[in-house]
Chain A
């Protein structure tokens, strides 16, 4: 018959094995540092520290004087931070499709074989649904260009253009923000019109909307609005207590993710709430998207407690159950979440490690890391880290 003691032993600690593994690496590295300090101050290359940091980051280390010593050492070996066995160059993508990348003020495409082509200097970019064109924003200008860089059309807005998002429905519309206004222009550059005031989050086109062009965006009155972009008809709305971090539809257009810094909300196309979950107060969502299907959301969760680190977390929501699984944790920030067209990999940037991480969405595969990302895109240390704006089109 179970008693209290055995029941306390039976409660499973979430991610216990991973926690133990990370802690062991930290302790081993700290022990090495202690030994080095007590002995001949030898400084072995930070292989253990690199492995440790790839998993837990310097954040945890900041907690104790011993950790502080390790952290000081880490400063000397910061280039070792990152996933071990990272490839030195991007020679191929581990899933079909092509990448669209913002690096510094330049935009690049990366083919499946790893070939990089610089499109030009832009503030913001977005793929067309089949990867044939790129919507580019530069100052108050919005243009459509071929993937080879040839300009097809260009319009001038009243204020700076950001977040160009091409409709997935055969590319008939492009949404963009100009100042604090959301606008939509047809895919051939005509019929530019205002939709309404919007806050600084990229709008999200609803896939599989039939002949309609349905757009979700966040307005400054604290609502997420779902509208027909052609008629202006309001199809749905939901209160949003804060500006969303991300908006993303499932690929079948049946659910809309409204990601807030402190919570997840999932809406149906009428704006009715299907799901709400609050994050732990110690973590803040900085990015998120649906994986193919409707059951899994991938989140980038940043924690500032005991230092900065960001985790890639899968959230499964099926029926009444929500569960989460931490896939990866890195020191500092992870940026630019992009999911492969086939849904089998996702890509996040890890600026502190100067790496891109191709993370599998199934347990059977391993993370593939590619290093020297700044150098490959000609980006200086003081410029924003190369960011993947889109991973497009299996057939491309």
Chain B
């Protein structure tokens, strides 16, 4: 636990071990629950049969997390919107060939995370409004907000991570994937994913400590 009371779920045991990074998180997202999966399968089948309402339900189920994941990785709300839209348009395009027995979420997440990484790489160092203390009105809560400043500091700390580490943090802690699942999605060795996670958490932890000391 860091000085601000943020639990980072650092790896335990030896420095080289995966520790709890490989373990499933205790609070699994509803999309990964069996009931939700069954419901999703029905919706996918209905959408394939032409039910716009079913596809709308799928959109409702997945949009918030897909959009958030992209935003956390690239930190540009307009671009995140575009990338998330692309993912859903791709899902719609491939709907007829989609295997309804498989969950839709991972498929969307893989597209969004990879495209978010690509977008950030091609944009190089962006002179974002954040750098000029330009806070989105509906974005990170300001000090006057009921929400504490931890989220704002976290957003800043995430921004200091290389995009590759940011992406694995988002996949692990927002989207609830195990390192091996992340490795498959990003086409990386599992060891690389674990390494990136460890380095990311170390960096986030030290950033928080500096923020707390400041």
Contacts and interface: CB of A to CB of B under 8 A. Distances in A.
A and B bind: yes
Interface of A: 1-5, 7-16, 19-20, 22-24, 26-28, 30-32, 34-35, 38-39, 60, 63-67, 276-283, 303, 305-306, 316, 320-325
B163 interface: no
B133 to A, nearest CB: 6
Best-surrounded residue of A1, A14, A324 (most CB of chain B within 10 A): A14
The B contact surface, by secondary structure, is helix
Contacts of B151: 7, 10-12
Contact of B92 (A1, A31, A277, A323): A31
B210 interface: no
A277 B136 CA distance: 13
Interface stretch (B4-12, B33-41, B188-196): B4-12
Contacts of A28: 52, 56
Range for the number of chain B residues in contact with chain A: 35 or more
Interface in B56-100: 56, 59, 63-64, 67-68, 71-72, 76-82, 84-86, 88-90, 92-93, 95
A12 B80 CA distance: 13
A4 B140 CA distance: 15
A3 B7 contact: yes
Nearest to A38: B50
Contacts of B76: 280, 282
Contacts of B103: none
Contact of A27 (B59, B72, B126, B136): B59
Given A12-B138, A27-B55, A321-B135, 7 more contacts: A15-B136, A15-B138, A64-B89, A66-B89, A279-B129, A305-B82, A322-B129
A16 B138 contact: yes
A110 B167 CA distance: 54
B44 interface: no
Interface string B140-181: 111000010011001100000000000001100110100000
B87 to A, nearest CB: 10
A64 B115 CA distance: 13
Contacts of A63: 82, 85-86, 89
A276 B131 CA distance: 11
